[in-house]
């Protein structure tokens, strides 16, 4: 039983995700950017206590177009925005995760999804089963547009 048996697929195109998934919006992000990802257990064993969390990105774009900020800045900004949005529903900003296995849409905050220990619990994925996730990025209205790099981890 291993998280290495998980396969990630773009839920919109049906293609397997091997390289970093790029979410793009316009220079003025008034509409949230959405990605759909399907996670399938290809192993012969069931996986229990599967969860999702984020970490600072290890990939910072190509050498000709490097990131403007260190990966920790993007990580901390997303946690700050998500924590504010979770506390005050009228505030938009951060990463929101939706799935049939979660009770409701959930923002990644400092206390939910910020580390393996606080991962968003997706439950069990039995052999051959798939969990569909919708990842929504909402830009806070007062924040200027920029590129953000973050790594999503799904595993036990």
pTM (two decimals)? 0.84
pLDDT at 22 > cutoff 70: no
CB 120 within 8 A of CB 108: yes
Domains of the chain (ranges; CATH) run 3-17+29-155 (2.60.40)
Per-residue pLDDT tens digits for 30-49: 567 888 888 989 989 888 88
The span from the CA of 136 to the CA of 147, in Å, is 15
| pLDDT grade for 156, boundaries at 50, 70 and 90 | confident
pLDDT at 107 (0 to 100): 93
CB 100 within 8 A of CB 91: no
pLDDT at 1 > cutoff 60: no
pLDDT at 62 > cutoff 80: no
pLDDT at 80 (0 to 100): 94
CB 123 within 8 A of CB 155: no
Burial tier of 125 (Cβ tally within 10 Å: 0-12, 13-18, 19+) = buried
């Amino acid at each position: 039983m291993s998280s290495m048996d998980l396969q990630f697929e773009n839920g919109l195109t049906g293609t397997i995700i091997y390289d970093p998934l790029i979410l793009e919006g316009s220079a003025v992000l008034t509409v949230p950017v959405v990605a759909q990802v399907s996670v399938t257990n290809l192993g012969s064993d069931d996986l229990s206590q599967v969860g999702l969390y984020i970490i600072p990105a290890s990939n910072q774009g190509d050498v000709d177009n490097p990131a403007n900020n260190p990966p920790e800045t993007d990580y901390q900004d997303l946690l700050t925005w998500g924590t504010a949005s979770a506390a005050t529903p009228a505030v938009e900003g951060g990463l929101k995760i939706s799935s049939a296995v979660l009770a409701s849409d959930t923002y990644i905050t400092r206390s939910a999804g910020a580390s393996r220990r606080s991962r968003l619990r997706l439950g069990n994925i039995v052999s051959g089963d798939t969990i569909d996730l919708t990842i929504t990025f909402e830009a806070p209205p007062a924040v200027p547009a920029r590129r953000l790099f973050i790594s999503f981890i799904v595993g036990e």
